Each structure stands twice: as C-alpha cells, then as structure tokens.
Amino acid sequence: MPQFAYRARNAQGGLVEGVLDCQDRGVAIHQIEAQQCIPIRIEMVGAAPTAVRREGAVAAAPTQKLKIPHGQLLVFTEQLAHLLQAGMTLDEGLSILEKRLKQPRVQQMTHTLHQALIDGRSFSQALSELPRIFPPLYVNLVAAGEASGALPQILLRLVKHLTQAKDLRDRVQQAMIYPTFLTLAGAILVTIFITFMVPQLTGFMAQTGGALPFPTRILLHVHHAITGYWWIGVLLAVGAVIGFRAFVRTNEGRVAWDRFRLLIPGYGRVIRHRYYAQFSRTLGTLMENGIPLLRSLDLVTEIAGNKFLELKLREVRRAVIDGATLSAALQAQKFFPDLLTDMMSVGEQTGHFAETMQAIADVYERELDRSVAVISQLIPPVIIVVIAVLVGLVVFSILSAVFEMTHSLQFRPH
C-alpha cells in the first residue's frame, strides 16, 4: 500500500508531520482532517519532492509595503477557498494560484505566502507578515479557521464579509459623485462669468462714459479681488490646510474632528449608519467564527476609522471586563441607538448573538440606503438653486450696467 508523508497544522497551531498508509492522496487528506488538522503538504514516499522554487517564479522581494487592489484580494480568497474545498492542501492551492493569477503583485503575494508555509510558518502567521494586504480581521479569522479545521468555510465567509463591506462603501461614494460634479460645474461657471465677462463689460462702459450701477460695482470689486489678490486666497487656503492637518495630527484634535463629522446634519447620519452596519456585521462574523468577545471588540475598534468611536469602544471593553453585558455597555455610552442595543440584548438572552448581529447589520444597511437615497435626491436641487442664485446675481449685475448704458445713450445730447 502506498505511503504518504504529510505536514499539517493541529488545532493549537502546532506543526504535525508523519507518514500514512493509504490507497491514495484523497484518503490521506480525509484521515488528516479527521484528526482536526489542516493539511499543508502531502507527498508520496519515494516520489520526487516538490520543487521549492520553480523556474520563473516571482523573486522574493520586500513585502511589508506590498499592496493589491481589493477586488484581487476577493478573487484570491474565493479561489483558495474553492481549491481547499475540493480537497487540495494549502501548499497545493497556493502553488496553483501562483500560476493561475497573472497579476504581478498578486503572484508575488502568493509566492510569499507559499514560501512561508514551506519554511514552517502557519498560514495566519504568513498573512500577518503582509499587513497592507491582510487586515487584522482577516488574519484572526484565518487563525480561527486553522484552529477549528474549517478554513475553507472561513475563507468563504470572509469573501462574503469583504464583498458586503465594499458594496457598502461603494454605495456611499457613488451617491456623492453627482452632487460633487454639480458643485464643481457651478463654481467654474461663476468664476468664468466674473473673470472674463465683467472686464469686457467694464471696458465697454468706460468707453461710453456711463456710470456703473451699484450691483455692477460690487461685481467689479469681486473681480478685482479675484484677479488682483488671488495669491492671498491661495496662501490662506494653504495655511488653513496646513493648520488643519497639524490640528488633526494631535490626539485631541483628531478626536474632536471625528466627533464633529458624526454630528454634521445629513452627512453625520450617513456616517453613523454606515458604522452601525459595519460594527454589527464585523462583530457578528467574528463571533460566528469562534473569536472571543474581547478579542472581537479589539478588532472592531482597530477598523473603526474614527478616533472618537475608538475611545467609546475602549470604554465599552472596560465595562465588559468589569462584568457588564455588551448591550448595557454600549447603551451607557449614549451614542449607539436604542434599537441596536435592544436587539443586541435579545440576542444575548436567547443565545443567538452572532445571528442577531447580522440581522442588526441588515437593518442599518437598509437605513443607510434610505439615508443615502434621500440625501442624494436633496443635494442636487439645493446645489442647482444656489448656482442659479449666484449666476442670477451676476447676470443681474451685468444687465443693470447694460440698461444703465442704454439709458444714458438715449438721453445723451447729439
């Protein structure tokens, strides 16, 4: 009967090696998985060993700064999950992906992970060495999958989670494209009116000797301020940007700015609902995959992206350590809405916490969609009205000068 030498990781993350007497590799994989281990490499005894480096492989390079697009990360994760579900080992799956995925940076990433496995490191340890690609949430979920022996299922859940997070971010960004375009178009239109049309009008009025009406004189002063002192505006803008960046670099300044963002009418509501959905979805995914509550809170704090919220979550974590339930600790902060904490409390009492958090995420994603839809419908008319008022004032100032000039010409003696 053939013999297969194998290398695998047990539930504690330790490296296990041995030899099995099996009919084929498939039986060997099932026997290893029955021992709650994740196979890394399986080779028939007496066969030629797998080459550590194949000819033409992507050369190792510094990987701390390596980064790939979000879409490529989704493709890599999903394809690796399918290969593992088909019965391949991590070693074989990464080797296949290194050949299949043609994007150079993805190939470099896959080669680095493959080499780390060959060197004896676990998959989660290899992922942690690429921090710009794999966030702590990704690494910890993979570590949980290695410990539980359910790595393919964990990877598929990660794909779903990353896809939902990307869709959430894309919906908010797409809703802001049209209002931003309208604002830029209006600003350019008003600038053209003031900088190009006003000088032509005033030059013509100077030739005819007519007196400029008051609205036109105001417009002329605006023109002189823009054309003669534009450099002051540039200096003020640069100074404001530098001062703002220096302010938000301080811990107190960053906390104050992030708190202010959450309180801006309309925009703050979108940011809050987006965070409630992200917080609930991420926490539910972590708990569903066996990550302890305190470690899950650490992870959702790291990905908050808001210093004010990070401070709130650290206070929540301290309250949980002191014995409070998570729902009670969140409610005490008086920032999270009652609907969220009430639903969370029900999940804690019924023992279906992870499922409840996913349901909460669904609720706030729907709320986010409604908020984005309302704001995206309100902003364009408001911008159009503002632009129309500004253009109307400019046109009124110009027409006032034209009417004054026409009037003076009519009554001027020949």
pLDDT of 197-233, one tens digit each?
767 766 666 565 556 677 777 777 777 777 778 788 8
Please report whether residue 54 resides in a domain.
Answer: no
Nearest to 137 by CA among 287, 350, 343: 287
User: Does residue 36 fall inside a structural domain?
Assistant: yes
- Whether the model clears a pTM of 0.75, i.e. scores above it, the answer is no
Tally of domains within the chain: 1
Q: How far apart are CA 172 and CA 183, in angstroms?
A: 17
Residue 88 lies in a domain: no
> Residue 259 and residue 268: Cα distance in Å, rounded?
9
Q: What is the pLDDT of residue 327?
A: 92
Q: What is the pLDDT of residue 214?
A: 77
pLDDT on residue 53: 41
Whole-number pLDDT of residue 243: 94
Report the DSSP beta bridge partners of residue 16.
8
Q: Which domain, by its residues, includes 30?
A: 3-44
Q: Are the C-beta atoms of 146 and 13 separated by less than 8 Å?
A: yes
The confidence score (pLDDT) of residue 50 equals 47
Query: Would you state the pLDDT for residue 257?
Result: 92
In a domain, 188, yes or no: no
pLDDT of residue 131: 86
Q: Which residues pair with 6 in a beta bridge?
A: 18, 42
Name residue, tokens 């000088």: 199
Q: Give the per-residue pLDDT at 201.
A: 66
Quick one: pLDDT at residue 54? 41
Residue 56 lies in a domain: no
Compute, in degrees rounded to 10, the torsion defined by CA atoms 330, 334, 338, 342.
Answer: 30
d(CA 42, CA 20): 10
In a domain, residue 339? The reply is: no
φ, ψ at 38 (rounded to 5°): -105, 115
**For the chain, which ranges sit under pLDDT 70?**
11-13, 46-64, 147-148, 198, 201-212, 405, 407-414
Among candidates 180, 145, 146, 156, which has minimal Cα distance to 82?
A: 156
Contact by Cβ (8 Å): 281, 161: yes
DSSP state of 105: H
> Is 20 among the domain residues?
yes
In a domain, 28, yes or no: yes
Residue 188 has a pLDDT of 82
